[in-house]
Amino acid sequence: MQNLYFKDIDNAEFKLYDNNPIIHNPPSSFVIADPSVLTPDESHDGKWHLFCHTFFGIYHYEGTDGISFKNRGKIVNKAMRPNINFIDGRYYLFYERTRPVIMNALTLLGAKWKSEIYCIESTDLKEWTNPYPVLKKTRDYEQDENGSALSNPFLIKTENGYRLYYSCGQTFIKDCGFCEPRHISFAESEEISKDYVARTSPIISPDKNIEWLNLCSGCLKVYRLKDCYIGLQNGIFEKDGKSHSAIMLLKSDDGEGFDFVKPFLVPQKCKNSNWMAQYVYACCLTYHDKKLRLYFNARNTANNLTGRESIGIFEAEIG
């Protein structure tokens, strides 16, 4: 991605893949969400690898073309919102570590949420280390009336070490019946897997005067280009009495302060399907073989009983 300029992203003609969604929610879970993807040049075996979560943990999918994926099984329990990284021949999978499924379900009845950011490591994507904590609550803004939540980790390399972007806090979304992340912040360390220190204040917070950010902040994925940083953020917002989520393109000179550029991918009906009609959520941008691909998950409706989340692709040719 560092070989691209901002204009390459801003001017690219992205289109939804014709056969979306590429991964449907399994029968055992209403959702399959938060894709994190490695391209062939980022993996040890020259294959595409996709990580995502259901109600029951994080799963590993594998493919040869970045479109058709085979489920290689669950790799970690009590886990959601993965971020996979291949650094110096070793894989680091950061994720939101939650409590057991039954405890998560009780939050719908008023129990308080608790989650932290953990990591597992591997050299072959088959054998993984035991989970260990990376970031726990240290700031007041990470906790609120709904509990303590640290989620949506996303790692980048900096001149001085590593920066881990993350979501924190929670806002209850009435028509969905569950919470979404309230703030976005980051923590920094000289080491990949320990000693992260969080900022004293968030970098993005909800703002009732901003139409795409008037409920809460969702999550942020940050990419360093040749001339700047970009952010892809799915803000949660209210419109016409309903909640929605859409992915926005942001721009930054330093990766700390971001400016809104434009809506990047918004909810819509596709070929008589409503799979992404109300919410477009977390994403992962890849660049391989002169093609940009945005992997994302979307939801058809707010209703807890009929709402389903699946994973799709939004892509563009470069050059």
CA 89, 94, 100, 105 torsion: positive or negative?
negative
In order of 134, 139, 163, 164, 286, the CA distances from 197 in angstroms are 10, 10, 9, 10, 28
Tell the CATH superfamily of the 6-317 domain.
Glycosyl hydrolase domain; family 43 (2.115.10.20)
pLDDT of 107 reads: 59
Block mean pLDDT (10 aa), the chain, length 319: 94 97 96 98 97 97 98 97 97 92 58 90 98 97 92 96 97 93 98 97 97 97 98 97 98 97 96 94 97 98 94 94
Q: Model confidence over 197-239: pLDDT tens digits?
A: 999 999 999 999 999 999 999 999 999 999 999 999 999 999 9
CA 262, 267, 269, 273 torsion: positive or negative?
positive
CA 35, 36, 40, 46 torsion: positive or negative?
negative
Give the angle subtended at the CA of 274 by the CAs of 260 and 286, to the nearest 5°.
45
pLDDT of 101 reads: 60
CA gap 282, 207 in Å, rounded: 20
Q: Is 183 exposed, middle or buried (0-12, 13-18, 19+ CB in 10 A)?
A: buried
Torsion of CA 50, 286, 134, 163, to 10 degrees: 180
CA 218 to chain centre: 9
Q: Model confidence over 9-35: pLDDT tens digits?
A: 999 999 999 999 999 999 999 999 999
User: What pTM was estimated for this model as a whole?
Assistant: 0.96
CA gap 87, 101 in Å, rounded: 31
pLDDT of 41 reads: 96
Q: Would you say 91 and 125 are in contact if contact means Cβ atoms under 8 Å apart?
A: yes
Tell me the percentage of the chain whose pLDDT exceeds 90. Answer: 91
